[in-house]
Chain A
Amino acid sequence: MMTWDFFTEWFLPGIWITIQVLVYSALLSALVAFVVGTLRTSRFWIVRFLAGTYFEIFRGMSALIFMFWMAFAVPLMLGWQFVPLWSGTLALGLTYGAYGSEIVRGALAAVPAAQREAGIALSFTRWQRLRRIELPQAWPEMIPPFNNLLIELLKGTSLVSVIAVADMTFAGNLLRLAKNESAPIYTLLLVLYFILAFILTRLMRMLERRAKAGVGRAPEKKNGLLSRKLSPSGESMQASTQGAGGLG
């Protein structure tokens, strides 16, 4: 089985790297999601078109291949390269940010038109309207789908092991090569990912309760400690942000 030395030398740092990749790429994808998602509601067609193109390209792209490309093709083309950790983070952030932009766009579009009109009547600027009226009301609606996306991102962080970032999957593979004993290692890995997903879900639930209380609503009733089940409409929206279809 695993020796203590190996555990402290590779596995613990691996967990830490996984968390780092997760946090950095989550921040990057949140940024991308809000910027691109908002731009996709712009009144200028060229802005909508460019943001929409970004979305379509990254939604059609496989994150793993993009990561490979960033790690191996870009250095040869440009003559300089990223630290592997950053090419992985960048690839994950840009891809999952594109998925998130669809969530932001959908939630902004779901804010009742009367709210926007009230803002216009009060002669708010566009930016004020977005910041003071539309985003605060759209935000609680975004959290459950963002939770799902965050879990997908957590699962996606395992991909960085393929471009030689020493995350926990990488440590697991190393251990398999060293000890030739795979069952306990991969079981432990799966359980670790599951625990991380569990913690994230709990945190996002807390955030949702808070955000919904902020606009005077009770959170949707959910059963189970972990299950991130969505309502039927939420489910089809979830499917379309991750897959390739539109919202029709």
Chain B
Amino acid sequence: MTFDWDVVDEFMPRFWDGVLVTLQALALGTLIAFALGLVWAMAQRAPQRWIRWPVTAVTEFIRNTPLLVQLFFLFYVVPQWGPSMSPLTTGIVGLGLHYSTYTAEVYRAGIEGVPVGQWEAAKALSLSRGRTWSSVILPQAIRRVVPALGNYVVAMLKDSPMIAVIGALDMLGEARQFSNETFTTEAITVVGVAFIVIAYPASLLIRVLERRLVNNT
């Protein structure tokens, strides 16, 4: 068993490039997932059936099929009749879209956790539908689900190496390229350890958030 630290030194500059790309994909993917998820969750509660059903069908389909195949679909099929995107952009869109169907469920759970009395109170005060959502329901619903949303950010971080498969140079992409050029394997080990080093503090942070936001309401 050999582990060559010189190889690690040589890999480091490219490792940091990869970290930057991974974090970029994660940040933008999170934005899409959080925003789109809220749209899905609200659409699934829409009074009109023709909105509710297609949205539920689409989100269930996305949620039950692998992200990897969705990325291939976005990368190879969509450009045939739509915009052609760089690997990183495709990855961001794929991650965001896939995880938006998960955050939709989280929002849904949060919305269902708001007592019925709150809806009735909003109705009694004759608030409009928009006001009811924006000032009564969502502030109470989202507060409870922040930790659950945070968990999906970490889950997204762990799925982000998949974008290397369609050619984005994230942490895994850089490690793969470096390993192929130099016939070494230390880079993959470094990236694996890096994931634990990023994910563990993040999980501790989520636990703190959970104690702050969920337990003392």
Contact = CB atoms under 8 A, between A and B. Distances in A.
B185 A229 contact: no
B72 A197 contact: no
A113 interface: no
A203 interface: no
A243 interface: yes
Given A186-B76, A194-B65, A245 B147 contact: yes
A245 B66 contact: no
Interface string B47-88: 000000000100011001111111011001100100000000
B65 A197 contact: yes
A64 interface: yes
| Majority DSSP secondary structure for residues of A touching B | helix
Interface in B72-123: 72-73, 76-77, 80, 102, 105-106, 108-110, 112-113
Nearest to A234: B109
Interface stretch (B8-16, B30-38, B132-140, B207-215): B207-215
B98 to A, nearest CB: 9
Given A72-B188, A161-B68, A232-B112, A244 B211 contact: no
A169 interface: yes
A41 interface: no
How many chain B residues sit at the interface, stated as a range, is 35 or more
Contact of B196 (A57, A158, A235, A236): A57
Given A60-B200, A61-B195, A151 B154 contact: no
B28 interface: no
B161 A64 contact: yes
A77 interface: yes
Interface string B135-177: 0000000000101111111110111111001000000100010
Contact of B151 (A60, A197, A242): A242
A151 B101 CA distance: 14
Interface of A: 56-57, 59-66, 68-69, 72-73, 76-78, 151, 154-159, 161-162, 169, 172-173, 176, 182-183, 186-187, 189-190, 193-194, 197-198, 224, 226-227, 229-232, 235-236, 239-240, 242-246, 248
Interface of B: 1-3, 56, 60-61, 64-70, 72-73, 76-77, 80, 102, 105-106, 108-110, 112-113, 145, 147-155, 157-162, 165, 172, 176, 179, 185-186, 188-189, 191-192, 195-196, 198-200, 202-203, 206-207, 210-211, 214-215
15 contacts: A56-B200, A60-B200, A62-B159, A62-B160, A62-B172, A68-B176, A159-B66, A194-B65, A236-B147, A239-B102, A240-B148, A240-B151, A242-B152, A244-B202, A245-B154
